[in-house]
């Protein structure tokens, strides 16, 4: 069973804040990064719940959103202009940190509302909050973006946004663009597959140029 109000009260007790229906902001350690926790009830009978952890960097994420609008072609420009609430940022499933199984969903059919709220709150405190608080500097955030490792593999989230965030942080921190060469090579097929009417190399070069001028 699942009770939204009960879950909210439990999450607030560990420092989370309600930000909408089944959405919460997490207490992080870098004031430039807003971390969010979102949940979904799955299935006809709502016997499973999954969720995600999302980040939004106050400088890098708006830059990435602009890159998507300006450089990723007509399809993405129309999407960004149409979806006014879309603010960029990235993330990963909660189950990449919490032990919710290979389906990325917590089974709550046999749990009471109290037990499901307690389990989600406990997993948030034990697995999610330590990770979020560990991204304490822009250097930490840059390293997170650069790596293709659990929990935040490139497979999750929007790779075009992530590449732009990474390019911005690389330039902001004064790091060489050669750091991005491996990403361009390893994620080329993934990134190019997201471009509907724009070439991969053109998108990359325009993003890098914009990042150097940001």
33 beta partners = 57
- For the record, the structure tokens of 33 come out as 């990064």
Q: Where are the domains of the chain?
A: 4-206
User: C-alpha dihedral over 5, 7, 13, 15, to 10 degrees?
Assistant: -110
Q: How confident is the model at residue 157 (pLDDT cuts 50, 70, 90)?
A: confident
Band (197; pLDDT cuts 50, 70, 90): confident
How far apart, in whole angstroms, are the C-alpha atoms of residue 25 and residue 92? Answer: 15
Q: What is the mean pLDDT of residues 25-34?
A: 96
**Given this model, what pLDDT does residue 143 score?**
97
At 117-150, the pLDDT tens digits run: 999 999 999 999 999 999 999 999 999 999 999 9
Whether the pLDDT of residue 168 is over 90: the answer is: yes
Of the pLDDT bands very low, low, confident and very high (cuts 50, 70, 90), residue 43 is confident
Contact 56, 37 (CB under 8 A): no
pTM of whole model > 0.85? yes
Neighbours of 213 (CB within 10 A): 7
Does residue 206 or residue 86 have the better pLDDT?
Answer: 206
What confidence tier does 176 reach under pLDDT thresholds 50, 70, 90? very high
**Distance in angstroms (rounded) separating the CA atoms of residues 207 and 147:** 19
Cis upstream peptide for 151 (omega within 30°): yes
Q: Which two tokens stand for residue 155?
A: 């497979």
Closest CA to 100 of 83, 120, 81: 120
Quick one: pLDDT at residue 103?
Answer: 83
CA dihedral 110, 112, 118, 124 (to 10 degrees): 50
Residue 146's contacts (CB-CB under 8 Å, 6 or more residues apart) are: 166, 179, 183
């Amino acid at each position: 069973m699942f009770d939204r109000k009960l879950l909210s009260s439990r999450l607030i007790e560990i420092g989370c804040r309600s930000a909408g229906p089944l959405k919460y902001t997490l207490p992080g350690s870098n004031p430039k990064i807003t971390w969010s926790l979102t949940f979904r009830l799955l299935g006809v009978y709502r016997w499973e719940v999954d969720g995600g952890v999302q980040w939004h960097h106050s400088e890098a994420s708006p830059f990435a959103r602009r890159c998507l609008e300006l450089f990723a072609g007509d399809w993405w420009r129309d999407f960004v202009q149409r979806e006014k609430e879309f603010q960029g940022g990235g993330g990963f499933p909660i189950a990449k940190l919490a032990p919710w199984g290979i389906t990325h969903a917590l089974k709550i059919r046999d749990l009471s509302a109290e037990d499901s709220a307690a389990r989600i709150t406990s997993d948030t405190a034990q697995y999610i909050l330590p990770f979020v608080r560990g991204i304490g500097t822009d250097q930490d955030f840059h390293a997170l973006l650069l790596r293709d490792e659990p929990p935040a593999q490139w497979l999750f989230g929007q790779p075009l946004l992530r590449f732009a965030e990474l390019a911005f942080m690389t330039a902001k921190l004064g790091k060489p663009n050669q750091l991005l060469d491996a990403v361009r090579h390893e994620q080329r097929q993934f990134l190019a597959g997201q471009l509907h009417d724009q070439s991969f190399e053109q998108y990359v070069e325009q993003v890098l140029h914009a990042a150097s001028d940001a």
